[in-house]
Chain A
Amino acid sequence: MTAIPIPAPEMNSAETALALALLLLAPLAIAGIALINTGLGRSRSAAQALLGNLALAAIAMIVFALVGASFVGGWPGGWELAIHTGGTAWNLLHAGPLLLGGLAAAAPRAQLAVLFQFLSVAFVAIIPWGSGADRLRLAAGCTVAALLAAIVFPLAAHWVWGGGCLAALGANFSLGAGFIDAGGAGAVHLLGGVCALAVVWISGPRRGKFPKEGLSTAMPGHNASYVLFGCMVALVGWLAWNIAGALLWLPAPLAALPITAINTLLSASGALVATFVVTRLRFGKPDASLCANGWLAGLVASSACAAIVSPGASLFIGAVAGVFTPLLVELFELALSVDDPSGAVTVHGAAGLWGLLAAGMFAPQPGQFVAQLVGIAALLGLMLPLVYLLFSILNRVVPFRVDPDGERIGMDLHELGGGAYPEFVIHRDESYR
Chain B
Amino acid sequence: MKYAGLLVMPAGFFLTIAALVLFPDAARRTAFVVCGFAVVCVGLVVAVRGHIPARGAHRP
Contact across chains for B60 and A212 when beta carbons are under 8 A apart: no
Of A41-49, A58-66, A98-106, A370-378, the one touching chain B: A370-378
B26: which of A85, A207, A213, A367 is its contact (CB, 8 Å)? Answer: A367
How near does chain A come to B27, taking the closest CB pair, in angstroms?
Answer: 11
Contact across chains for B6 and A388 when beta carbons are under 8 A apart: yes
Give A349 to B21 CA distance when docked, in angstroms: 28
Beta-carbon nearest neighbor of A400 in chain B: B60
Counting from the closest, the 5 A-B pairs by CB-CB distance are A381-B13, A212-B56, A381-B40, A204-B60, A381-B9
What would be 11 A-B contacts, judged by CB atoms less than 8 Å apart? A201-B2, A202-B60, A204-B57, A204-B59, A210-B53, A210-B57, A374-B20, A374-B33, A380-B9, A384-B47, A385-B7
Give A257 to B48 CA distance when docked, in angstroms: 39
User: Which residues from 19 to 35 on chain B have a C-beta closer than 8 Å to any C-beta of chain A?
Assistant: 20-22, 26, 29-30, 33-34
How near does chain A come to B28, taking the closest CB pair, in angstroms?
Answer: 11
Interface size class of B (residues with CB under 8 A): 35 or more
Give A86 to B22 CA distance when docked, in angstroms: 8
Give A213 to B26 CA distance when docked, in angstroms: 53
Q: Mark B43-55, 1 if CB is under 8 A from A, else 0.
A: 1100111011101
Contact across chains for A210 and B55 when beta carbons are under 8 A apart: yes
Contact across chains for B6 and A385 when beta carbons are under 8 A apart: yes
How near does chain A come to B15, taking the closest CB pair, in angstroms?
Answer: 8
Give A88 to B33 CA distance when docked, in angstroms: 17
* Interface: A421 (CB within 8 A): no
A205: which of B7, B16, B43, B53 is its contact (CB, 8 Å)? Answer: B53
* Interface: A14 (CB within 8 A): no
How near does chain B come to A345, taking the closest CB pair, in angstroms?
Answer: 10
How near does chain A come to B39, taking the closest CB pair, in angstroms?
Answer: 8
| Chain B residues within 8 Å of A258, by CB | none
Contact across chains for A337 and B52 when beta carbons are under 8 A apart: yes
Give A209 to B58 CA distance when docked, in angstroms: 8
Known: A370-B30, A382-B10, A385-B7. 17 other contacts (CB 8 A): A211-B56, A213-B55, A336-B49, A337-B53, A338-B51, A366-B26, A370-B29, A373-B34, A373-B36, A376-B37, A377-B33, A378-B13, A378-B16, A382-B9, A388-B6, A401-B59, A401-B60
